[in-house]
Amino acid sequence: MHLPPPLTRDLVLIGGGHTHALVLHKWAMQPLAGARVTLINPDPTAPYTGMLPGHIAGHYSREALEIDLIRLARRAGARIILGRAEGLDPVARQVHVPGRPPISYDVASVDIGITSDLPALPGYRDHAVSAKPLGAYAARWQEWLARMQAGQTAAQIAIIGGGVAGVELALAMAHRLHGHAPEITLVDAGPLLPNIGAQARKRLILHLKRAQVTVIENARPAAVTENGLELADARLIRASFVLGAAGSRPQDWLRGTGLDLTEGFVTVDPFLRSVSALEVFAVGDCAHMAHAPRPKAGVFAVRQAPILFQNLRAALGAGEMRAYHPQRDYLKLVSLGDRTALADKWSLPLEGAWLWRLKDRIDEKFMSQFRDARPMPPALPREHASGLAEMLGDKPLCGGCGAKMGAQALAAALPKVTRDDIEGGIGDDAAILRMGETRQVIATDHLRALVEDPWLMARIAATHALGDIWAMGARPQAALASVTLPRMSPELQARTLREVMAGADSVLGPAGAALVGGHSAMGAEMQLGFTLTGLLGGRALTKAGAQVGDALILTKPLGTGVIMAGEMRWAAPGGVVAGALSAMVQDQAQAAMILRDAHAMTDVTGFGLAGHLAEMLTPDRLSAQIDLAALPLLDGAEGLAAEGIESSLAPANRAALLGVLDAPKSARAALLVDPQTAGGLLVAVSGAQAEALLNELQDAGYRAAIIGKVTADTGPKIIAT
Indicate if 401 belongs to the active site: yes
Length of the chain, please? 721
SS3 of 499-526: the string is HHHHHHHHHHHHHCCEEEEEEEEEECCC
Exposed e or buried b per residue across 36-53, where buried means at least 16 C-beta atoms within 10 angstroms of its C-beta? bbbbbbbbbbbbbbbbbb
**Distance (Å, rounded) from C-alpha 265 to C-alpha 247?**
14
Helix residue ranges, H only, 340-453? 353-368, 388-392, 407-413
**Distance (Å, rounded) from C-alpha 159 to C-alpha 292?**
31
CB 529 within 8 A of CB 481: yes
Three-state SS for 8?
A: coil
665: exposed, middle or buried (C-beta count within 10 Å: 0-12, 13-18, 19+)?
A: exposed
CB 114 within 8 A of CB 132: yes
Chain center to CA of 49: 20
Would strands 35-41 and 9-14 be described as parallel, antiparallel, or unpaired? parallel
**Distance (Å, rounded) from C-alpha 463 to C-alpha 528?**
12
Collect all residues with Cβ–Cβ distance below 8 Å to 293 and sequence separation of at least 6. none
What are the Cα distances from residue 602, in Å, to 442, 537, 684?
15, 18, 9
Other CB atoms within 10 A of residue 263 CB? 8
Other CB atoms within 10 A of residue 719 CB? 14
CB 119 within 8 A of CB 125: yes
Exposed e or buried b per residue across 485-509, where buried means at least 16 C-beta atoms within 10 angstroms of its C-beta? bbebeeebbebbbebbbbbbbbbbe
- φ/ψ of residue 418, rounded to 5: -135, 110
Kindly give the interhelix angle for 298-315 and 18-29, rounded to the nearest 10 degrees: 50
Instruction: Please give the torsion angle defined by the CA atoms of residues 70, 72, 76 and 81, in that order, rounded to the nearest 10 degrees.
Output: -30
Residue 274: which region, alpha, beta or left (left: phi > 0; alpha: psi -120 to 50)? beta
Q: Which of 247, 214, 64, 81 is nearest to 138 (CA)?
A: 64
Residue of 401, 462, 500, 601 with catalytic role? 401
Other CB atoms within 10 A of residue 181 CB? 9
**Distance (Å, rounded) from C-alpha 563 to C-alpha 561?**
5
Instruction: Please give the torsion angle defined by the CA atoms of residues 557, 560, 562 and 566, in that order, rounded to the nearest 10 degrees.
Output: 130
List, by residue number, the catalytic residues.
401
